Structure 1
Amino acid sequence: MTALIPLTNTPRDYAWGAIDGVARALGWAPSGGPEAELWLGAHPLSPAARAGGDAAWDDLAGWEAATGARLPYLLKLLAAASPLSLQAHPTAAQAAAGFAREEAAGIPLTARERNYKDPNAKPELIVAVDAGFEALCGFRPVDETVALIDGLADASEAPEALAGWRDAVAAGVREGFAWLLSGAPEVDRAVAVASATAQVHPRRFELVDRLARAYPGDPGILVAQMLHHVTLAAGEALWLPAGNIHAYLRGTGVELMGPSDNVLRGGLTPKHVDRDELRSVLDVTPGPVSRLKPVAVTRHVVAYRPASVASGADVGFELLLITGDATVRTGSAAIALTVEGTFTLAVDGSTAAVARGDILFADAPGELAVTGAGRLFVATGL
């Protein structure tokens, strides 16, 4: 018999998180501080805890240990008030090699300089819960970045300071990115001039100005200008495979990813930055915005299926969004997160009612019958 077990967790209080962000999204009691991410999975850094029910485990890490099963995903609710770090994630092979290397070096898992927290890949998708979710994702075409640099130079009192960056970008994305992360004095000068120009023309260069105020002097301010800047409506999604450089800027979203916390950062953060390691995993190929279009499954169900666009990558999860009465099949143990409305869930003889802010864990795959109305996200393996 499949059990439906309520889950909870404590929001992660990263500085970029919106004040009471998770609480406001789910109708929970506010903490009064930043609430950046709610982790719903078995990752040992923050496993979701059992909030009731009868089970021989206290959290999902314990469930994995007790059953020998493994969740093929990590579900998160993210609430950003300010920009996250510029980052990318490794492939499975890169993660395994990096984890083994740092284990052999004796670097503690909790050490600031630790890059690889586990041996797993971390491809991810994010779905906007509300309109206005902003993100940077992937390198845009070189000519677009060159045009932006020219605009900054034309508006600047010291256009020559931007010439080195322009020349590097014109040679290619890899060259432009490497120039910005080189640590050369010319980079600091370019960042200062671009930031000062944006301060004088904040509407024209809004993103430069916003990032410069949040992270003054950071070369990531200019790296961000080489990336696609997108704003999502509620229900729109992005797919961020291994090697895709990205940063979430603000808004609330539901993330589904591989069961990993391997993040290689390149700027816009007080956390550890390892630019050489980031460069080693980065895909510098310019391309279109990596949107993930939902697939209609039934009248009240859409599926966000990264395997449909993952170019053969091993992506063993998908995210369902249920808005009304439906029956869906889950391919693994599943986690259901209610962000709006009320529902009743039934599977293999177990039944549970949920409202906004409730989280349920179905501990085995099966036919999940849902009645009600609102927005219910269900994470499942394939």
Structure 2
Amino acid sequence: MFVAIANTPRDYAWGSASAIAELLGTVPSGGPEAELWLGDHPGSPARIVDPNAVGGSADLAAWIASDPRSALGDRTRLPFLMKVLAASAPLSLQAHPTAEQAREGFERENVLGIPLDAPHRNYRDAHPKPEVIYALSESFDALCGFRPLDEARLVLVALGLDELVPRLSDLSGLFAWLMGGGADVDDLVARVSDFAAARSSGIRLSEDEAGALAISGAIETVRTLSAAYPGDAGILSALLLNRVTMRRGEALYLPAGNIHTYLSGLGIEVMTASDNVLRGGLTPKHVDVGELLAVVDFTPGPPPWLRPNEVSPQLGVFRPGNPDFVLAHVAGDAELDLSGPAIALCVAGSMTIRGARSESTIMRGEAVYVTPDERRMTFFGRGEVLLATTP
């Protein structure tokens, strides 16, 4: 069964005024449009376009609750959430918990009597939130995970923060000190912000090309974050992180504990269905540095690129090794077997999808929920589809 779904973009302040509307072919709201949720998460369940097709249920959460067998097959919940994300300003500096941390945190805050919708609540459900981000715009800028230490040293020295270099031997201690703020941290933030403002982001400060790119990227990061959140301690913490520019069609996998933020761009996110976010700065929302430090993985290393399994020239499948989701990119005639439910979003042209029981044609901006009994799906048409499903 193919069930047409839609939703209204969430209006977080960092959202783009036009990117989601342009992708979907809709009229912009006039305000920021940051995230379009396609799933059954209670924070913003997808609307069912024709409720009569599913017994009158108005949204995906209501339909799954009323008829889980038809909607989910043998599963007890929809394990993934798909989002369209459009950032015109940096998101909060954040990380997500493991499954165990999510369960413990959710139970702890329930015992404390913190309402689920309270602004200061950290854990809004009992699930982890690993995620894949796939770039739809020609470039998508992000910070993700701690840089290799040699690169961090190079960046700190180049930006005039030599006194922080010895502290790299205790990365978690340095990060905690920076996030804690105070007069000394404020002085460093002001110094590095002034340094970045006085220099071109493209200046060549190293004979090594990779080093020069890391330094110029760090300067641009400081300029971007200083403009959005002047004086925020997260400006310094961001220098310890990998800066990545994804090109259209590239993806990252951000597992539990990966400290990250998105700076700008349009993309598709697929994640375990959760809204658990621990924030440490670069945001007017609730910040809990202590809880963030408890979930962050301080292991330095390269950016967490996720390469697709090229099933055919028309089909690539991103498999992060997570039990809850995979992301498929379809650009032409292709076939894909389903092991569970799926959500397909057409991002260009049109595509006809034929399953074991039914068929649907979706145009740019249209999305469908696919029940597990469709099993093997055949795609044909001149379009482009992103599809989230189970491994």
TM-score normalised by the shorter chain: which range applies? over 0.9
Instruction: Write the distance in 1 (CA, Å) between the matches of 2:134 and 2:324.
Output: 18
Counterpart position of 1:277: 291
Instruction: Write the distance in 1 (CA, Å) between the matches of 2:127 and 2:279.
Output: 17
Q: Specify every segment of 5 or more residues in structure 2 that has no aligned partner in the other structure, as ranges.
A: 202-215
Counterpart position of 2:179: 181
- The Cα offsets for residues 162-217 of structure 1, whole Å up to 9 and x where unpaired, read as 45533323x23212211201223111111111111111114252211111111001
Q: Which amino acid aligns with 1:219?
A: A
Counterpart position of 1:310: none
Counterpart position of 1:86: 93
Match of 1:77 among 80, 84, 90: 84
Match of 2:244 among 219, 225, 230: 230
Are the counterparts in 2 of residues 86 and 266 from structure 1 also a CA contact under 8 Å?
A: yes
Counterpart position of 2:206: none
Q: Which amino acid aligns with 1:269?
A: T
Match of 1:294 among 288, 292, 308: 308
Are the counterparts in 1 of residues 346 and 364 from structure 2 also a CA contact under 8 Å?
A: yes
Are the counterparts in 2 of residues 21 and 34 from structure 1 also a CA contact under 8 Å?
A: no
Question: Residues 195-210 of structure 1: matches in 2 within 5 Å?
Answer: 195-203=193-201, 204=216, 205-210=219-224
Match of 1:6 among 4, 9, 13: 4
Question: Residues 19-98 of structure 1: matches in 2 within 5 Å?
Answer: 19-52=17-50, 54-56=53-55, 57-68=57-68, 69=72, 70-98=77-105
2:379 paired with 1:381:
no
Aligned residues with identical type, % of pairs: 48
Counterpart position of 1:159: none
Q: Specify every segment of 5 or more residues in structure 1 that has no aligned partner in the other structure, as ranges.
A: 154-161, 308-313
2:228 paired with 1:221:
no
Are the counterparts in 2 of residues 71 and 332 from structure 1 also a CA contact under 8 Å?
A: no
Counterpart position of 1:347: 355
Are the counterparts in 2 of residues 145 and 226 from structure 1 also a CA contact under 8 Å?
A: yes
Instruction: Write the distance in 1 (CA, Å) between the matches of 2:232 and 2:167.
Output: 18
Counterpart position of 1:128: 135
Are the counterparts in 2 of residues 142 and 173 from structure 1 also a CA contact under 8 Å?
A: no
Report deviation, 1:134: 0.6
Are the counterparts in 2 of residues 11 and 39 from structure 1 also a CA contact under 8 Å?
A: yes
Are the counterparts in 2 of residues 138 and 246 from structure 1 also a CA contact under 8 Å?
A: yes
Are the counterparts in 2 of residues 40 and 76 from structure 1 also a CA contact under 8 Å?
A: yes
After TM superposition, the score normalised by the length of structure 1 is: 0.93
Report deviation, 1:354: 1.1
Counterpart position of 2:271: 257
Counterpart position of 1:335: 343
Are the counterparts in 2 of residues 168 and 179 from structure 1 also a CA contact under 8 Å?
A: no
- The Cα offsets for residues 67-114 of structure 1, whole Å up to 9 and x where unpaired, read as 334211000010110111111000001000000001111111111110
Q: RMSD of aligned C-alpha atoms?
A: 1.3
Match of 1:305 among 319, 329, 353: 319
Match of 2:377 among 354, 360, 368: 368
Q: Which amino acid aligns with 1:23?
A: A
Q: Which amino acid aligns with 1:71?
A: L
Choose 99-108 or 176-185, whichever is displaced more: 176-185
After TM superposition, the score normalised by the length of structure 2 is: 0.91
SS in 1 for 2:242: strand
Report deviation, 1:21: 2.4
Instruction: Write the distance in 1 (CA, Å) between the matches of 2:362 and 2:181.
Output: 52
Match of 1:316 among 315, 324, 327: 324
Runs of 4+ in 1 over 4 A off after TM superposition: none
Instruction: Write the distance in 1 (CA, Å) between the matches of 2:243 and 2:346.
Output: 29
SS in 1 for 2:78: coil
Q: Which amino acid aligns with 1:373?
A: R
Are the counterparts in 1 of residues 340 and 372 from structure 2 also a CA contact under 8 Å?
A: yes
Are the counterparts in 1 of residues 140 and 264 from structure 2 also a CA contact under 8 Å?
A: yes
What number of residue pairs does the alignment pair up? 365
SS in 2 for 1:181: helix
Instruction: Write the distance in 2 (CA, Å) between the matches of 1:194 and 1:298.
Output: 48
Instruction: Write the distance in 2 (CA, Å) between the matches of 1:86 and 1:255.
Output: 17
